[in-house]
């Protein structure tokens, strides 16, 4: 029998604020434990939360980037559960009146099919502290760091619209790309500022009813998410095939080393959290003008950029996707293009080729590199003017990347100027022909392929500096005399 | 309004309180009375009255996104019964495995 898979995601994203969401403690990763704390984020009695305005703006920004409706009226609720990293014994979150509802994100799945993944909601909440487990067995204990407690967090909840583990991964990569683009979050999975729980169920193909849902927790890399979902998809499929479908909804963990999911606990029912409105926080009234102002400040989004690159510059979908996918790369590309009057495709090739290769090698982002758009534009103009060959340009480019020097400086220092002097080249050409009578005879006998060899010899002799077009022309002239 | 014994036991569990069968029965009875008493507000005529979202007539109370250090680590940990290298130390809470 065939089975269908249904996946929905809950993504937690730490917002890029200076201070925490309800107090003035620094929102910083990697500090000494318990150095950014106050009575508020330690849950001491009597401390009152006051909402960070920037956190609201960033949540709205995320909502706009994902085409959500921004609620004109919103409020905070208390979600109650006991865990030592939650010092108040409740989390301030949003239950029935979230800031953003009803968005969508378009992805292209591995089959090349366009899919619209609906966003159910985005709400603003506070982060919990961090727990470290120490020791084993009865002697074990836990250590708590509250630097993370109270960081501004949004939770993005999708509708169950994803149909495969691969689609889930593509969606998450796209989501990360957009949230970085609009500078809502740095979305670093390895630092926990972008985390995902996944709900998955499997049912017989064509059935109207979804299967029983499993929640996969603590998935801390894109690879882990896809692998855990694939494992679970298989497991649930096998259970159905054996006629023993799961009997309860479960929270399950992912064991990276063994490559399998494991049972953690039955899934709690929502009502167990006993949500109620937080009396410490007045509600939010979001004026249309405020939303419009945030909308105006949004940069052009990757999807819009991609379409424009294809239309305006005639780039392929793949090229446009690569260039538009990272904001820094797109900015570098566009800045170069403003300074360089030639073909956009030429710029695109250098940015996606040599530049991407060197950035990758050195683990740098475009903005961190010493190479500036001015230098690339100048170098491309030197190629167009015949001052340097394309081959030499690669050397120049690498030197620019590492030293930050201008292409002209490099060319002069290293004597890389292209030889375009006809009489100088003609003498060289005659010398090469004299040295290689065999290929010369071949060419004259109609084996025109020998020309390539002779061009190569001239280039070798000049260390790549000869103008290849001119060399070609001079060789033909001499050979056909 | 009757609050069943099972519900009282569930509440106790959520609040991490250990209760005996007798206590659960007693609390069930007592909580039912509390609910009855509080239930009187249901009799208030509320037709045409907007639901109260918040007790104070306030909205949009914000702070700016500015860092204001408050406690040193020493101050934060001063009342901790146990600590270790700058962390609060608590009994083991790893629930799985």
pLDDT of residue B8: 92
Q: Do B70 and A272 touch (CB under 8 A)?
A: no
Question: If you ran DSSP here, which 8-state letter would residue A439 be given?
Answer: H
pLDDT in tens, B64-75: 999 998 999 999
Q: What are the DSSP E strand ranges found in A76-192?
A: 77-80, 90-93, 100-108, 114-126, 130-134, 141-145, 152-158
Mean pLDDT rounded to a whole number for chain A: 92
pLDDT in tens, B13-61: 888 899 999 999 999 999 999 999 999 998 999 999 888 877 888 999 9
- CATH code assigned at B21: 1.10.20
Q: What are the DSSP E strand ranges found in B1-97?
A: 62-63, 83-84, 87-91
> Among all residues of chain A, which has the CA nearest to that of B89?
A143
The contacts of residue A60 (CB under 8 Å, 6+ apart) are: A70, A99, A100, A286, A290, A291, A294
The answer to whether residue B36 sits within a structural domain is yes
Contacts of B54 in chain A (CB under 8 A): 75, 277, 279, 282-283
Number of domains in chain B: 1
How big is the A-B interface in CB pairs under 8 Å?
132
* CA dist., res. A357 & res. A351, Å (int): 9
Separation in Å, CA of A334 to nearest CA in chain B: 32
Tokens standing for A165? 């583990």
The matching CATH number, chosen from 3.40.1180.10, 3.30.465.10, 3.30.70.20, 1.10.10.410, for A422-479 is 1.10.10.410
pLDDT of residue A455: 87
Q: Which residues pair with A51 in a beta bridge?
A: B62
Please report, rounded to a whole number, the percentage of residues in chain A having pLDDT higher than 70.
99
Structure confidence at residue B94 as a pLDDT band (50, 70, 90): low
The answer to whether residue B9 sits within a structural domain is yes
Sheet-wide strand order for A77-80: A90-93, A77-80, A276-277
Structure confidence at residue B96 as a pLDDT band (50, 70, 90): very low
pLDDT in tens, A395-452: 899 999 999 999 988 988 887 777 878 888 888 888 888 899 888 888 888 888 888 8
Question: Phi and psi for A154 in degrees, rounded to 5?
Answer: -115, 150
CA angle (A350 as vertex; A323, A347 as ends), nearest 5: 70
The answer to whether residue B95 sits within a structural domain is no
Per DSSP, the three-state class of A211 is coil
The contacts of residue A477 (CB under 8 Å, 6+ apart) are: none
* First-to-last C-alpha distance (Å) of chain A: 77
pLDDT of residue A396: 92
Structure confidence at residue A271 as a pLDDT band (50, 70, 90): low
Minimal Cβ distance to B86: which of A32, A38, A50: A32
Tokens standing for A348? 């695109």
Statement: residue A42 has pLDDT above 60: yes
Segment A72-80 mean pLDDT: 95
Q: Do B87 and A143 touch (CB under 8 A)?
A: yes
Contacts of B94 in chain A (CB under 8 A): 133, 140, 142
By the 10 Å C-beta count (0-12 exposed, 13-18 middle, 19+ buried), B23 is classed as: middle
pLDDT of residue B97: 37
Segment A35-57 mean pLDDT: 96
pLDDT of residue A280: 94
Residue with tokens 């909205």: B59
- Give residue limits of the domains in chain A: 3-289, 300-414, 422-479
The answer to whether residue B30 sits within a structural domain is yes
Structure confidence at residue A52 as a pLDDT band (50, 70, 90): very high
Q: Answer yes or no: are the C-beta atoms of B93 and A131 closer than 8 Å.
A: yes
The answer to whether residue B28 sits within a structural domain is yes
Helix (H) or strand (E) holding A200: strand A194-204
Separation in Å, CA of A33 to nearest CA in chain B: 6
Statement: residue A187 has pLDDT above 50: yes
Separation in Å, CA of B76 to nearest CA in chain A: 7
The answer to whether residue B73 sits within a structural domain is no
pLDDT of residue B57: 84
* CA dist., res. A310 & res. A326, Å (int): 16
What is the span of the domain harbouring residue B10?
Answer: 5-43
Between A326 and A34, the higher pLDDT residue: A34
Segment A326-343 mean pLDDT: 92
The answer to whether residue B62 sits within a structural domain is no
pLDDT in tens, A335-350: 999 999 889 999 999 9
Please report, rounded to a whole number, the percentage of residues in chain A having pLDDT higher than 90.
67
Contacts of B85 in chain A (CB under 8 A): 33, 143
């Amino acid at each position: 029998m065939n089975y269908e898979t249904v996946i929905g995601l809950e993504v937690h994203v730490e917002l890029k604020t200076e201070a925490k969401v309800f107090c003035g403690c620094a929102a910083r990763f990697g500090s000494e434990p318990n150095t950014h704390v106050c009575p508020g984020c330690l849950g001491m009695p009597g401390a009152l939360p006051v909402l960070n305005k920037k956190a609201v703006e960033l949540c709205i920004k995320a909502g706009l980037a994902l085409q959500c409706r921004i609620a004109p009226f919103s409020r905070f609720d208390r979600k109650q559960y006991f865990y030592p990293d939650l010092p108040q014994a409740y989390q301030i979150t949003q239950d029935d009146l979230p800031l953003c509802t009803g968005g969508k994100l378009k992805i292209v799945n591995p089959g090349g099919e366009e899919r619209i993944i609906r966003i159910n909601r985005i709400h603003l909440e506070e982060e919990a502290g961090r727990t470290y487990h120490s020791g084993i067995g009865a002697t074990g204990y836990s250590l708590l760091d509250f630097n993370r407690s109270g960081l501004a967090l949004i939770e993005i909840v999708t509708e169950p619209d994803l149909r495969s583990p691969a689609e889930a991964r593509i969606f998450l990569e796209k989501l990360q790309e957009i949230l970085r683009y609009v500078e809502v979050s740095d979305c670093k999975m390895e630092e926990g500022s972008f985390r995902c729980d996944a709900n998955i169920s499997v049912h017989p193909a064509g059935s109207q009813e979804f299967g029983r849902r499993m929640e996969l927790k603590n998935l801390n890399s894109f690879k882990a998410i896809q692998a855990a979902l694939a494992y679970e998809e298989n497991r649930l499929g096998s259970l159905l095939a054996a006629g023993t479908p799961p009997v309860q909804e479960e929270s399950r963990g992912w064991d990276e080393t063994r490559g399998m999911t494991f049972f953690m606990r039955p899934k709690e029912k929502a009502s167990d959290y006993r949500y109620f409105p937080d009396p410490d926080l007045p509600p939010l009234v979001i004026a249309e003008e405020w939303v419009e102002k945030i909308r105006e400040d949004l940069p052009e989004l990757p999807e819009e950029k991609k379409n424009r690159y294809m239309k305006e510059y005639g780039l392929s979908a793949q090229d446009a996707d690569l260039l538009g996918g990272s904001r820094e790369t797109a900015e570098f590309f566009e800045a170069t293009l403003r300074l360089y009057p030639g073909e956009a495709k030429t710029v695109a090739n250098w940015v996606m080729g040599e530049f991407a290769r060197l950035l990758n090698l050195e683990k740098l982002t475009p903005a961190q590199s010493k190479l500036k758009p001015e230098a690339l534009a100048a170098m491309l103009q030197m190629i167009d003017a015949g001052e340097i060959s394309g081959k030499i340009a690669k050397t120049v480019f690498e030197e620019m990347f590492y030293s930050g020097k201008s292409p002209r400086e490099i060319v002069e220092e290293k004597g890389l100027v292209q030889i375009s002097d006809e009489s100088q080249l003609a003498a060289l050409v005659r010398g090469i022909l004299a040295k290689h009578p065999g290929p010369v005879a071949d060419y004259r006998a109609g084996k025109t392929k020998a020309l390539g060899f002779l061009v190569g010899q001239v280039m070798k002799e000049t260390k790549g500096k000869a103008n290849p077009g001119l060399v070609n022309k001079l060789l033909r002239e001499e050979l056909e005399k | 309004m009757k609050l069943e014994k099972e519900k009282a036991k569930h509440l106790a569990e959520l609040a991490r309180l250990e209760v005996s069968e007798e206590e659960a029965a007693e609390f069930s009875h007592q909580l039912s009375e509390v609910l009855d008493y509080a239930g009187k507000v249901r009799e208030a005529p509320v037709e045409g009255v907007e639901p109260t979202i918040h007790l104070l007539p306030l909205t949009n109370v914000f702070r700016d996104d500015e860092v204001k250090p408050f406690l040193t680590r020493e101050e934060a940990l001063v009342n901790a019964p146990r600590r270790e290298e700058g962390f609060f130390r608590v009994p083991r809470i790893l629930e799985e495995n």
